[in-house]
Amino acid sequence: MANNPYQQYKNTQVQTANQEKLLLMLYDGAIKFTRSGKKGVEKEDKDLANNALNRAQSIISELRATLDSDKGGEIAESLDALYEYMNYQLVQANIKKEVEPLEEVLEMLGELKETWVEAAHNLKNKQQGQQAGGINIEG
């Protein structure tokens, strides 16, 4: 499916995205596949649930891999523990075919995504303010 225009578009998006955009794309993917896995559990479609939840786990593993404990300190450690917990909940939901852990993971992912959207917005505003401010030569 290398000639699939949609896949080519998605590949281009990933290749040209900045770090903030890539992070948000990972959150969007984790949310999408967790929701899909939840639908699979609800419909008792084991293949859908398993495939979607495995993809969600892969994305959360990628989120964990992006953490830099040297630069991020306690925040990175807290996020790592949270991602580990989410992965555990996804595994449990997949094994037991239960919806409750998925609802919890979806809530956490949604809150984290909102936080990153706000942080990216604040960073962008700060950068624009610095560019517009120029240099104060009067002291």
CB 33 within 8 A of CB 56: yes
Cβ–Cβ < 8 Å for 105, 86: yes
**Is this structure's pTM higher than 0.85?**
no
Question: What's the CA angle centered on 93, arms 88 and 94, to 5 degrees?
Answer: 100
The pLDDT tens digits along the chain (139 residues) read 557 865 655 555 555 558 888 999 999 999 999 999 999 999 999 999 999 999 999 999 999 999 998 888 999 999 999 999 999 999 999 999 999 999 999 999 999 999 989 987 777 777 766 665 555 455 5
What span, in angstroms and rounded, lies between the C-alpha atoms of 93 and 102? Answer: 7
Residue 11: its pLDDT value, please? 55
The domains of the chain, with CATH numbers, are 17-133 (1.20.120.340)
CA angle 92, 110, 102 (to 5 degrees): 20
